[in-house]
Each structure stands twice: as C-alpha cells, then as structure tokens.
C-alpha cells in the first residue's frame, strides 16, 4: 500500500512551482494538499496553468491560509529574499525543500554581496544542506532543510566536481561557457525575455557578474581545497527548456581527455540520472529535455594539454523541480527515482 | 503481479516509432523485445535516438531477424505502402497496431486514389478497425488489426463527430483550418522541413489536396449518414510538436455555441484524455504537448448562426503513438490510461 | 539634388516606431529631426534599440521638447487613445501619418464600442484618410492626416477587396483565419508574449472579439455596398515577424478560383509591392519578411463552389511602418517605392 | 551616371548564392546577367527562392551555357572542391569573388588535410587574396581572385586580430566558443538541420575538428608571428541567421579589458561596418541580423588577468555574401558600402 506524504507547494505560479506540481501530481507518494501563490489566490491552478487541468489539484491560496499542521513537507518556489522570509516562519515539523537561491550559499557575507540583501535567517542558512543529489546524499537524507542548487551550478558541478576532486584538471584555470533556455529567467515580465526580443537570436548576458558564479566557486573550492575563481559566461538561447555547459580546462600533467571520460563514467556508473553520451554522440539539450537526466561528454581539444567538457540538463527538472523531488525522495526514504522516470521528450 | 505483453516496434527509426518506444519503455505491461529499422539494423537505439539511452532497449534489427513466435503484439511505424507489405506477412497470432495510413481508409479505391498505389492487402483493409479510441471502443477491443487514425483526423474527429452526429452543426458546410508542428512531416529529409526553411515563418501546404481529407470525410460521412466533402487546409508552424484545428461551422436552426459546448462536455465527461478548455482559456498546443490529451473549445462567432470550434493535441502522442498505446491497452484488457499518464510539458 | 522632408517619429520606442526609424534612416528624402518616447527621454536611440546604432540618430526626447515649426511631417507610433490626444495638439502645418488605431474607424460610435474610450478628436477622425495605399491613392495624396490600416486589415483587404468589389465571391459568407507573429502584439510587457509562453506552441486568441474585425468589416462593407459581418479568428505563431491570412469564400454562381486569380492578377498588375505567388508556390511569410511586399494566392477548394484565398505580408512593414512610408511618399509627391526597395530577407 | 558591372552568380541555388542575388539585385552598380545552378537549370529563380520574385532576374542556367565574354565578374557560391574545378576553367579576364573554402587556406597541404581532397588549382590558391575586407584592403583592391573568409573566421578575426597584433592578449591561450544559426550549414539535406532536430534545442558539433579552425589559426599565426593552435568549439543554435563568438583570453602583463576595448575602438574607428557595442549593451545576433555589420564587445572576466571578448555578425551577409560584395566594391573602385547600407532587421 502506498503511503502518501502530504505536501504544499509555496509559490506555485512560477515555472519551477508549476513543474513541481506537474511532477508531484503523478508521484505515487505525494499528496498535494496546498498550492499557494499570493497574487493568484482564489484561482484554480488550471486558470494559471491550463496544462495542469484535470489533475484534481487544490485551488491556489495565500500562504497564511494554509494549516501547516496538516502538512509533512513543503516545496518552495518563491524568488530569493521572499523565500527566506516565508521559510523562517514555517513550523519546525515541516521538511523544507527550497528551490530559491536563499540557502545555497554557505556564507552570509557572500550571500549579501551576491544578492544585495542581508540574510534574515542566518541560522537556517547554516542548517541548510546543499542539495546536489548525487554528491551530498548522506547530508540530504538527514536534513530538514535542503537548498536545491541553481540550474547552472547543477550542470557545472555534475561535470566538474569529480574532475576537480581527482585532480585531473587544473581547477585554477576553468572557463565555463553556459547556455540556457528562456525559462531559466522565470515567468516574471521582463523585456529581454519577450518572444520578439529572444526569438531568432542569441544573447550573452550578465557577463562576469552572474549570481550563479559564487555558488559554483563555493562548491568547486570545497572540492579543490582552495579558493577558486572561475570564468562563468551565460548566454540566452531561443528555446524554452534546456541548459548546456561547455567547459574548457587544462589537463593536469600527463592526463588525457580519456582519463577524464573514464573518471566521470566511473563516478556515475550507478547513477540512474547521469549518463555519458553514447559513442559518437555530443550532448545536446534535446536528449534530456523533459527528463531528470544529466548527459555528460568529454572531448579532446585541438590545443595540446586541454580538454573540452560538456554537460546538459533540463533546467526546470534536474536543474530545479526534478532535483527537488529527488531530494524529497531521499529525505522520506523513498526510491530516489520515484516520480522521476519520465524519458526525455524528443523532438 | 504485472504481466507483460511482449511487443515489437517495426520501423523504430522514425518519430512515431521512437515516441512509441519512449512510452512503451515506461509502460508497466509492455516488454519491448524487438526494434526493427532496416536501414539502421545493427545499431543501438541510442545511436539513432540518444534521448533513449539508458533504457535497456534491444538493438535495432531487420524485420526478417525477428522471431515472431516470441511476440504478442506489433506496433508498426512504417510509411504507408511499406506498412501493408510488412503487415501482410506477419503471422496471424500477432495483434497489430498500425500507425501508418494503410488501413485507415475503408475503401480500396479511395485508398488507391489518395495514396497513388493499389492496396496489396485488401482483405486486411476490410478487417482493420479504425482506431479512434474514444469512438470505436467496442470494435477496437475485439480487433486483431487496428489502424490508428492520422494526427489531423484525430484532432478533427474528436471535435466534430459528436456535433455532426447530434445534428447541432451543418455537416455540409465545414471549414477546417489545420495547423501542425513540423514532426508531422516525419524524419525523412525534405527541403521544406529544414530549420532554415521553416523557422521564423509560416506556410500553408497541400491546400485542397492533403491526404487526410478523405479520411476525415469518410468518418464524418458515416456519422452524418450522407456523403460529405469538407474544406481541409493545413499549415506548417515553426514548432516541433503539436497540432491545432480551428473549424468553422454553421449552426443548425436555433442552436447555439453553448449547445455545442454542452454536447461536447457531456459526450466526453468520463473520458480521461479529453477535456474542455477551462473557463476563460482558449486551447493552445502548449497545454497538451507531451501528453495524450485532447483539449476542446467552443466559441461564439461574430457572424450570427456560426460557431468557431477548436481542438488541440500532440500529433506524436494522441495523434499517433499515444493513441496506439491507448488502443493496445484496450486490445489487451488493460486500463486504458496505462502508460499514458504523463502530464503535458509546459513550457 | 535631393530635397529632404524633415520628420519626427512620435513614440519611437515601440516596434512600429523603431521600424519606421530603420526605414527612414535610409530614405533619401527623409531627415529624422526628432525621436520622441516619453519614458525613455534623454537616452540615445541605440540604448533602446542597439540595432540602430551608428545611424547618427537624434537622442530620444519628450513630445513637449520638440519644436514643431522645424518639422514638415510626423509619423506617430503611439498606442491608440494616446495617439489621438497627441495628434490633436499638433500644429496644423504638419502632415501626420498615424500608425495607431485611432483614426482607422470612420464612425465615432464604432470606435468607442471597439476600443472602449470616447474619441476626443472626432473632427480629425472625420478628416483622416484610410491609408490602404493601393486602394486610396487619390485621397492619400490630398490628405493631411492618414490613418494607416491595421496589419491584419491590410492583409485581408488587399486580398478580398477586389474580389468583393467585382462580385466574384459571396461577401456575406467570409471566414478569415488569421495568423500573426508575436511583434504584432507590440513591445509592452504581457505574459502571453514571453518566449516561454509562445515558443514551441500555437495559440488562437481574441476569438470572435478582435479589434481589427470592425475595421475589416467597415472597408468590406463599403466595397460591397451593404453591411457585412465576417468571421475573423487570429492565431499567435511562434515567430517574430509575419502575418498570413487564409480566407474561405463561397464563389458567386458559375465563378471559379481561376476567375479570382485573374481578377487579382489584373487588379495588381502594375503594383510594385503586390505579387501573385509564382506558379506552384503557396504564399509563406518567409517570402515577404523584411520587405514591403504582399504575396497573394488563390487555390481551389475540395468543396465545390468554394475557394481558398491566401495573403501574406510583414506586419511591421507593409502592415505598419512600410505602408506608412509608402503613404508619406504619396503625400509628398515622391516615388512610391522610395526607401522601400528592400528585398525580403530569406531565410 | 551609373556604370554597371556585369556579373554572374555561379551556384545561385544555395543560401550564400541567393543572398548574393538578393543584395546584388539592389546594388546600383551591378547587373546580374547569369545565374547558374546545374541541378535547377531552366527554372526561374523565383521557383527556387520565391522571396526573389519580381526582381527581373534571369532564369537559372548551367555553367556551360554562360558566355563569359559578356561578363566582368563572377561570384561563386559553390561548395568547396567543386568551386576550384569551376573557377580553374574560367577565362582570365574575369574577376572572381569566391565564397567557398577553396582558396582560403594559403597552404596546399593544410587544404588537403582539412578538406580531404588535393587542391587541383594550386597556382590559383597561391594567387588568391584572403578577403577579410577591413584587414586586407590593399591586396583586395589589386586582386583578380578573392577568397572570402568563412563566416566563423570573419567573426573571430575581426575580434582577435587587432588584439593579437598589438600583443594585448596571450595568443597562445585562446578559447573560442562559437555559436551559429542553422543557415551556416547550408541548404543541402542533412538530418541534424531538420527543424524537429534543431528546434527547441542546442547542440555543440565538430568539437575539436571544425574546418574553420585551421583557417583561424592561419591568420592569427600570421598576426602573431608564430604558429598558433587555438580552441574552437562551434554550437548550433535554433535560429536561422546569426553568429556570435565568445572568446576567452589571458591579458598580457598589466593590460586590462579597457585596453582591449580601446584598441578595438581605435582600430575600427573609421570602419562603416564595425561598431563597438553601445555602453551597457552586450552584443547579440539580433543587433546585426540582416546587415553587413559586426558588433564587438569587451568585458572584464571574474578571473583576474582574463578578458571576455564577444563579436557577432550575420553569417550570410558579413560572414559571406555581404563581405563578398564589399570586396567586389573594392576590386571595382566603388564606394565600399555600396549596396550594403541595409540596417539590421530587428526584431
């Protein structure tokens, strides 16, 4: 018999929230009790997201209308700053999976510098576990509050962490050229994500200043055992979903691209959501879109002593809602793939 | 305990074949034993479709390499003409779900006129059941050979059949403006479906001559009890998946758009895959993409006595592979939604 | 020697305004003296539209900063309601080419009913000439205030006016299925035109209620000599530029699709911006994008006695800024093609 | 009075050929006498490219049907290998602007290794001038045969040549992440450029092996005065036109991003087709699409001592047909901007 965990999705009117609902509605151990979205309170979810019609979802309510005593776990899809304010007030019996940026950075000063506001829940920041599922399983299983990594950091760290840890590449000389679909920017209205501005075009943005860079550096530094600074240059691609990282690294003395490939293949051999690109295939976002999968590839560079490293994922799934559910599964002792079995939708 | 039906997918290297595999790989009562594709025989499926890596699929083989005695059912994703030649040679114990056009038309002459070749298996053509799931359940359940409808006919008939049958609209004056994503044209190389030809553009095609028109007329004529000719004008839209029908009809004397809406809502009230658009929502392909759902909408026309009727579906799922599995479920006494529970992927 | 007309573009920060500037900057008889955009006043035009860098354009100013005595003509790219308020205050020596909806409807009540606000300049509404270039040349040449038609009405009327006038089709039974790229919705922030909402999808909108329908009916009724109501159903297509009309009409007794084709070919034989589709070609938006051209096609319907009529244009050029310049050329006695010679940009 | 140069376009049925025709048809000093395309000989150009209807173009013929004595100059849009075979046979009075790869590489062995065939016209290879307009003006003006650079090399070299020459960056440590629209792959049928394969996705390709890398290295090595090897990693973007380079470089001792910016701004101060991004703007393909412009940007990297360099152009114009005409203008003593004044088409 299937025991269900009663959950609420806070901030269900954004893309990460709605994708959590989409996945949660079919998860055999999830019962969606509350959906909150202050600006849409009172509406049916299908009025805000018609693709979610017919799922028997509760109507949207305000946060304060929820009776938290009826709930076991909360997924939070609010913007940063708002997220910490809301989570701070939640009762302690709730397990919390936060998809915002509020608890990803381990250091309060780095947070303030990066996001421009003082953290108002530093004790929670200290408690939170960084939810990169495949790399922090033990901590996630024993946590109450998980901070799901950003979409870019997930794609980057899945690719680079094992190589930095093993010393196969020079962690002090990393170039990370990142490409993302437009859902990465959320559903809030901004001119640069209008169809007419983004379609049939390609735009670098936040060059040198993107907020995911400190998060990437935090985790790579931990792995390397030294403070690192990395290049991180994101580009907006005219597609809705999908993210691809092309990283350029210097190989450690005598090491080869083949060594890197083997190291990654070995590290992730038993991982259900991580695959090396099949022989002769270069990772493309289309191969993982709609799934919780990461696809990795390692390629020889023309430049001797260098290697080209590629990873790709669906930014709303493995980069957000899917990884959140993967973490939830761990926190509640469920099979990690539960509710995440969807094969990529191609084309 | 889960009993599995052993299946083969013939013609697994096209989009309908690959989408069948995508869905079949997660279907609890399907075991994929063979995948055939003569031109790719010997390759792993992930070499042809990297998004299907990691599913433990058999390698592609030639049709003649299959031992049909090990198989219970066959899904056929071949092009028309080829399909009938292959299916004709299959042993009689196999249940066959054909996704080609070869067995959709009930009349051999209409077939020959429409597709330009004589039918070589007229006895099978006579035996085949037209697999519009929600409308021919009894026949499908008792059939050995099901001809899945074309993607356009599915979208049109789900919308118009109940209205024609009930006499709410004038069946002799139907305008059907159809829009499809590019996967509707398949994976074979043609200049007009290159990205550069189709992207950032919109193109009507096969105006007055599309092969799905006789199929639509066949079924509407049956429903109306008289020979009908209808307008059918398809347009190619710069998107990969999705199909939308905008049909324009004259209301029967005294009838209203509201009557049509009620008739459709009532007809499909218990159907898991058919939904009326939520209040205030106009059907859009994005609301059904990636699901087996059809969404219907009825709208008042500015012109008195007229009504605007809209339906939308994912051409590769409800318009092909999904409906094929829905029919398979019926043929094998399974729950009709089995393996088809995926919620639409938006955005 | 080239005499230049001194112009201002009011409302230069929208897409119609910027496309006017793009074309005007290369027009041999235009000198752009002022660009106004109240919300962006003080900025260089290249800060708002980087593709217009390097053209030596004046910075954006507020309307009240302009010295109208230095100007000969004004192009107005403001939204409706705002446009009439601004134009009402302009000095009388200025020729005005308005690209908003404010002066398109000849009847004040129809305007109020359609746009939801009382017209505050009914005397100008009466004075204004409807700027469908190829059909109202004499009036445009002698006008002071031209109301450029909406993009949809231009595409529809270029196609249907000659056929309605000649009585070849039944004007009382017209179905107009319209498809537009996303720039048709302007640059103002709206959720439904975000890339993620529109991309990889297709959405009908304003079914039965679009504001361009009364404008179409006004002009068709004039041509037919009777009050007409027509179906008009617009769809949003995932492309930035381009518009395509598929119209369905009943032929008058004994008339054929060939008659319609000949009538259109003859009517537009000497028009530089109107072409019949080449033999074997169906009009597509890609064939006119970036040009001031309209392409027309006539096709036999499957339904006896019916015809399928297609037109396509670039909504920002022939549907707005290009036609505005064409009218300007007429108003100032210039060659009508001046500054509008750009060939369509394909792909 | 306008003197016209009589030209032929050889290989007019590809995208570079058709874009050359599009531009040439409006060039005041070009008369298009012949259009050749062996596989389409006998057809009107508008049958192959309907957007070119109404321009009074000659019908397509076979190469051998042309009377070269009537021609002054030839633009060649054939594929590599074919191009050299055809150009080798042309009479010596013709000036030739080749848009293929056949004469770009200065070394016969490098050519053979890169393109897989022996060069059959090494004497012409030696004679050919590398047509990077802004960098080889003197040679181009005095040449008979110009090899227009590849689209990627043009974008890379415009950005990096001045910085390598001036020693501001370390030429031995260059990472070049390149992104291109799909027209870069031409009009020949290939599965990976079908809309359904490319749309809503992003794919790296030819990682470490792209044929434009040796061309880039050839020119950068000349500038640096030493043999260089560079990283070059192209990505296919779901858009038709446009190319963007994100290059990552190490600054020479004590040099800054600002120094690089100044150097580029100074180098190109008088160039009509090269612009630095306006303040606060990051180059995007949309800002140059449809024009012959290159837009450059220089940005500080997070990593001390590094710089991020960006360039963008329209691959079919400045990256091919536009630069070809720019070179033609120089070869015939015309104003270099003649026929290339089109402002970028945005959106």
pLDDT 10s digits, D157-205: 999 999 999 999 999 999 999 999 999 999 999 999 999 999 999 999 9
How is residue A219 written in tokens?
């985790």
Residue A330 lies in a domain: no
The chains in contact with chain C, meaning 3 or more Cβ pairs closer than 8 Å, are A, B, D
Q: Let me know whether C174 and C291 are in one domain.
A: yes
> How high is the pLDDT of residue B273?
98
Residues C168 and C277 in one domain: yes
Chain A residue numbers touching D199 (CB-CB < 8 A)? 239, 347
Q: What are phi and psi of D232, to 5 degrees?
A: -150, 115
| Domain membership flag for residue A345 | no
Q: Is residue C42 part of a domain?
A: yes
Which pLDDT does position A2 carry in this prediction? 67
- Please give the average per-residue pLDDT across B123-143, as a whole number: 97
Residues near D252 by Cβ (< 8 Å), separated by ≥ 6? D167, D168, D169, D170
Termini Cα distance of chain A:
36
**Closest CA of chain A from C223, distance in Å:** 35
Minimal-distance CA residue of chain A relative to B50: A287
Q: Is D123 exposed, middle or buried (0-12, 13-18, 19+ CB in 10 A)?
A: exposed
CATH code (residue D289): 3.30.360.10
Residue pair A151/A313 in contact by the 8 Å Cβ criterion: yes
- Point out the residue among C202, C213, C289 whose CB comes nearest to the CB of B244: C202
How many CA atoms lie less than 13 Å away from C121 in the CB half-sphere? 20
A2, A28 Cβ separation under 8 angstroms: yes
Give pLDDT tens digits for B49-59.
999 999 999 99
B239 vs D187: CB contact, 8 Å cut-off?
no
Residue B43 has pLDDT above 90, yes or no: yes
Residue B218, CB-side half-sphere exposure with 13 Å CA sphere? 21
Residue D328 covered by a domain: no
| CATH code where residue A54 lies | 3.40.50.720
**pLDDT number for residue A342:** 97
pLDDT of residue D120: 96
Kindly state whether residue B298 falls inside one of the protein's structural domains: yes
Taking CA atoms, what residue in C is nearest to B288? C201
Convert the pLDDT of each residue in C43-88 to its tens digit. 999 999 999 999 999 999 999 999 999 999 999 999 999 999 999 9
Q: Residue B19 has what pLDDT?
A: 98
Provide the mean pLDDT of chain C: 97
Contact: D347, C199; criterion CB under 8 Å = no
Cis bond upstream, residue B334 (ω within 30): no
Distance from CA of C185 to the nearest CA of A (A): 9
How much is the pLDDT for D2? 67
Closest CB to A50 among B46, B53, B281: B281
Residues 6+ apart with CB under 8 A from A329: A335, A336, A337, A338, A339, A340
Go through chain A and tell me how many residues it has. Answer: 347
Q: What is the DSSP string of D35-50?
A: EE-GGGTTS-HHHH-G
Shared domain check, B224 and B112: no
Q: What is the pLDDT of residue D190?
A: 96
d(CA D222, CA D227): 8
**Residue D175 and residue D107 in one domain:** no
Instruction: Give the Cα separation of A131 and A119 in Å (integer).
Output: 19
Nearest to B22 among A183, A293, A343 (CB): A343
The helix or strand, by DSSP H or E, that contains position D155, with its residue range, turns out to be helix D151-165
Cα A308 to Cα A249, A304, C11, distances in angstroms: 7, 11, 48
Q: Tell me the per-residue pLDDT of C174-187, one tens digit each, with 9 for 90 and over.
A: 999 999 999 999 99
D92 exposure class (CB count in 10 Å sphere: 0-12, 13-18, 19+):
exposed
Residue with tokens 């390629």: A299
Name every chain C residue with its beta carbon within 8 A of the beta carbon of B209.
302
Say yes or no for a CB contact (<8 Å) between A246 and D239.
no
- Around C310, how many Cα atoms within 13 Å sit in the side-chain half-sphere? 28
A317-341 core/surface letters (b: 16 or more CB in 10 A; e: else) = bbbbbbbbbbbbbbbbebebebbbe
Q: Which of A15, A197, A240 sits opposite C199 (nearest CB)?
A: A240
Q: Per the structure, how many domains does chain C have?
A: 2
Closest CA to C168 of C246, C249, C69, C82: C249
Is the domain of C236 the same as that of C101?
A: no
Q: Are residues A183 and A107 in the same domain?
A: no
pLDDT bucket at B2, cuts 50 / 70 / 90: low
Query: Closest Cα of chain A to B48: distance in Å?
Result: 10
The DSSP annotation for B140-202 comes to: HHT-SEEEPPPHHHHHHHHHHHHHHHTT-B-TTS-EEEEEE-GGGG-SS--GGGBHHHHTT--
Which residue among A22, A53, A286 sits closest to B278, beta carbon to beta carbon? A53
CA distances for A67 relative to A268, B203, B343, angstroms: 41, 53, 28
Extract the runs of DSSP E, i.e. beta strands, from chain D: 5-10, 30-36, 60-61, 73-76, 95-98, 129-130, 145-147, 175-180, 203-204, 231-236, 243-250, 274-276, 294-300, 306-313
* C195: in domain: yes
Cis peptide before C290 (omega within 30 of 0): no
pLDDT at B84 over 60: yes
Indicate yes or no: CB of D347 within 8 angstroms of CB of C47.
Answer: no
Interface probe with A: pick from B42, B48, B52, B54, most Cβ of A within 10 Å: B54
Is D17 a member of any domain?
yes
Average pLDDT over residues C17-36: 98
The reply to whether A193 and A265 lie within a common domain is yes
Size of interface C-D (CB pairs under 8 A): 98
Q: Please report, for residues B292, D199, D336, the alpha-carbon distance to residue B238 in angstroms, rounded to integers and kept in the order given.
A: 21, 8, 37
**Are residue D75 and residue D113 in the same domain, yes or no?**
yes
Judge if A59 and A113 occupy the same domain: yes
| Residue ending a domain, choose from D127, D160, D186 | D127
CA gap D311, D160 in Å, rounded: 9
C-alpha triplet D303, D304, D309: angle, nearest 5°? 65
User: Quick check: C1 pLDDT over 70?
Assistant: no
Which positions of D are annotated as active-site residues?
151
Evaluate whether B310 touches B245 at the Cβ level (below 8 Å): yes
- Residue B1 in this model has a pLDDT that exceeds 60: no
Which pair of tokens denotes residue C160? 């249907």
Asked if D299's CB is within 8 angstroms of A208's CB, the reply is yes
C241 neighbourhood in chain B, CB within 8 Å: 200
- Please judge whether D197 and A229 are an interchain contact, meaning their C-beta atoms are less than 8 angstroms apart: no
The pair of three-digit structure tokens given for residue A200, joined into one six-digit string: 């049939």
Residue D41 to residues D13, D75, D318, D322, Cα–Cα distance (Å): 10, 17, 28, 25
**What residue numbers bound the domain in which B56 lies?**
5-127
The reply to whether residue D204 touches residue A248, judged by beta carbons under 8 angstroms, is no
- The pLDDT tens digits of the residues spanning C133-143 come to 999 999 999 99
- What is the tens place of the pLDDT at every residue in B236-280? 999 999 999 999 999 999 999 999 999 999 999 999 999 999 999
Instruction: Please indicate, yes or no, whether residues A100 and A158 belong to a single structural domain of this protein.
Output: no
Q: Are residues D85 and D163 in the same domain?
A: no
Q: D214 φ, ψ to 5°?
A: -60, -35
**Residues B95-125 pLDDT 10s:** 999 999 999 999 999 999 999 999 999 999 9
CB contact under 8 A, C282 and B204: yes
Q: Is the pTM of this model over 0.95?
A: yes
In tens digits, chain D (347 residues) has pLDDT values of 568 999 999 999 999 999 999 999 999 999 999 999 999 999 999 999 999 999 999 999 999 999 999 999 999 999 999 999 999 999 999 999 999 999 999 999 999 999 999 999 999 999 999 999 999 999 999 999 999 999 999 999 999 999 999 999 999 999 999 999 999 999 999 999 999 999 999 999 999 999 999 999 999 999 999 999 999 999 999 999 999 999 999 999 999 999 999 999 999 999 999 999 999 999 999 999 999 999 999 999 999 999 999 999 999 999 999 999 999 999 999 999 999 999 999 99
Report if residue B143 sits inside a domain.
no
Would you state the pLDDT for residue A117?
Answer: 94
**How much is the pLDDT for A285?**
98
CB contact (8 A) between residue B194 and residue D187: yes
Residues D119 and D179 in one domain: no
Q: Which residues of C touch B304 (CB under 8 A)?
A: 229
- Please give chain A's pLDDT, 347 residues, in tens: 568 999 999 999 999 999 999 999 999 999 999 999 999 999 999 999 999 999 999 999 999 999 999 999 999 999 999 999 999 999 999 999 999 999 999 999 999 999 999 999 999 999 999 999 999 999 999 999 999 999 999 999 999 999 999 999 999 999 999 999 999 999 999 999 999 999 999 999 999 999 999 999 999 999 999 999 999 999 999 999 999 999 999 999 999 999 999 999 999 999 999 999 999 999 999 999 999 999 999 999 999 999 999 999 999 999 999 999 999 999 999 999 999 999 999 99
Closest residue in D to B239 (Cα) is D199
């Amino acid at each position: 018999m299937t025991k269900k965990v009663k959950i609420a999705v806070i901030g269900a009117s954004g893309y990460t929230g709605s994708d959590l609902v989409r996945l949660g509605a079919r998860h055999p151990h999830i019962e969606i009790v509350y959906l909150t979205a202050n600006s849409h309170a009172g509406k049916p979810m299908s009025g805000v997201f018609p693709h979610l019609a017919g799922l028997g979802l509760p109507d949207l309510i305000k946060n304060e209308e929820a009776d938290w005593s009826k709930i076991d776990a909360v997924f939070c899809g609010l913007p940063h700053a708002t997220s910490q304010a809301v989570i701070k007030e939640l009762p302690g019996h709730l397990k919390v999976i936060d998809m915002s940026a509020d608890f990803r950075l381990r250091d309060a000063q780095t947070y303030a510098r990066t996001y421009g506001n003082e953290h108002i829940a530093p004790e929670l920041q200290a408690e939170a576990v960084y939810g990169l599922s495949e790399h922090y399983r033990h901590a996630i299983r024993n946590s109450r509050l998980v901070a799901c990594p950003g979409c870019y950091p997930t794609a980057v760290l899945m690719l680079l962490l094992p190589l930095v840890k093993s010393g196969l590449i020079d962690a002090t000389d990393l170039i990370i050229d990142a490409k993302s679909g437009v859902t990465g920017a959320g559903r809030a209205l901004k001119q640069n994500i209008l169809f007419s501005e983004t379609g049939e075009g390609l735009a670098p943005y936040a060059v040198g200043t993107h907020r995911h860079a400190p998060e990437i550096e935090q985790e790579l530094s931990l792995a390397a055992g030294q403070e690192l600074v990395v290049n991180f240059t994101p580009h907006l691609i005219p597609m809705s979903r999908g993210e691809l990282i092309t990283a350029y690294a210097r190989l450690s003395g005598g090491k080869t691209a083949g060594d890197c490939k083997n190291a990654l293949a070995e590290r992730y051999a038993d991982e259900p959501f991580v695959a090396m690109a099949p022989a002769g295939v270069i990772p493309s976002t289309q191969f993982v879109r709609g799934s919780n999968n990461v696809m990795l590839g390692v390629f020889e560079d023309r430049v001797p002593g260098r290697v080209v490293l590629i990873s790709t994922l669906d930014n709303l799934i493995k980069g957000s809602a899917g990884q959140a559910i993967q973490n939830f599964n761990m926190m509640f002792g469920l099979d990690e793939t539960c509710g995440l079995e969807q094969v990529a939708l191609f084309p």
